[in-house]
A and B are shown apart, each in its own frame.
Chain A
Amino acid sequence: MKKSIKIFLVIIVVGLVTGLSTVYYVFNMPHRNIEKESPSFTMDASALYGDFSKDEVLANDKYADKVVEVKGEIAELTVENYQVSIVLNDEMEGVNCALDSLTVVKNKEMIKLLKIGDAIILKGKCDGFDMIMGVVLTQCFIVK
């Protein structure tokens, strides 16, 4: 076999392998790890709600898709199997946090003991502001 053909074949094989692995990687790109991400904002739940109720568009630009750590008092607690939602400060005018199933499994016993009025610190991804739910955080992890 001529040397040039050999080189040509090697280039094609290398090209195919890198191409396919890039496609494979992009399609299987890992999800954000909210638990390990350090929060862009650390604040009281009431301050976060206040920012959204003042100017929703502005607050969306500032907080949406960011990891926010909020501190507040539990106003509502919904536990449905591994789906746990904690609303901070006020049932309607508060911060509604959907816990990540990983944190629910890990803190099963602690969640059982939670009650209305308890102080808690949660960290999650801010999805925006809803007329019924208030400020919504999803994939939340219990910080303290």
Chain B
Amino acid sequence: MRYLLLVVFATVLLTASAQKQITKTGTIEIFSETPLFTIEGTNKKVASILNTENGEVVASTLVRSFKFHEALVEEHFNENYMESHAFPKSIFKGRIIDFSSLDLSKDGTYDIMIEGKLTIHGETNYVKEKGTITFADGIISASTEFPVSLKAYKIRVEKAYTKAIQDEILLKIHFNYKPYSKK
């Protein structure tokens, strides 16, 4: 009996671990364009875990991992706008709506809705955005693209720059997941 319990317990543990998908090399691209100034930044150190049992998603990254073409923009991004010394990370915690209606065994790209709490610059807002998820040979990848308002996250832009930097910054996010297997 004790042996049986052990086997059951081990199987549960194994299947539980197989239901998590992870990545540590996700990407976020940020983009803002005005007639005066174009800002483009890329972060290739974005981590995410997707629970394929209930569609729960967490994603997190460090603000300092964003790279910009101009060193000056990178410096201002960290020091004046994101204040990365005080708020070093950005985190999303939420879920894919109606994840259970998706058939993981059928290859293809599906439209999804993602909702949850997004924390940037120490401010947390509820977000609900469109995205896509792709199943191909058992590999899951997901993408989403949406604007965030600087005001909503209390990111202050000096008056002199309000014409050069949009309030809405476009985020393009992409994850290629791998099954999470931790011994």
| Interface residues, chain A, with chain B CB atoms under 8 Å away | 26-32, 60, 64-65, 78, 80, 83, 85, 87, 91-92, 96, 98, 125, 127-133, 136, 138
Counting residue pairs across A and B whose Cβ atoms lie within 8 Å, the total is: 78
Contact, CB under 8 Å: B24 / A133: yes
Contact, CB under 8 Å: B85 / A64: yes
* Complex CA–CA separation, A129 to B25 (angstroms): 15
- Not counting A127-B65, A130-B45, A138-B45, a sample of 9 additional A-B residue pairs whose C-beta atoms are within 8 angstroms of each other reads A29-B72, A78-B25, A83-B25, A91-B182, A127-B62, A130-B62, A131-B47, A131-B60, A136-B45
Contacts A29-B70, A130-B47, A138-B65 given; does A85 touch B88 at CB 8 Å:
no
B74 on the interface (CB 8 Å rule)?
Answer: yes
* Complex CA–CA separation, A91 to B47 (angstroms): 12
Contact, CB under 8 Å: A60 / B45: no
* Complex CA–CA separation, A60 to B86 (angstroms): 9
* Complex CA–CA separation, A133 to B64 (angstroms): 14
Contact, CB under 8 Å: B62 / A128: yes
Contacts A26-B72, A27-B70, A85-B25 given; does A65 touch B47 at CB 8 Å:
no
Shortest distance in angstroms between A24's beta carbon and chain B's nearest beta carbon?
Answer: 11
List A contacts of B58 (CB < 8 A): 132
B44 on the interface (CB 8 Å rule)?
Answer: yes
Shortest distance in angstroms between A25's beta carbon and chain B's nearest beta carbon?
Answer: 10
B172 on the interface (CB 8 Å rule)?
Answer: no
List B contacts of A26 (CB < 8 A): 72
Contact, CB under 8 Å: A96 / B24: yes
Shortest distance in angstroms between B80's beta carbon and chain A's nearest beta carbon?
Answer: 14
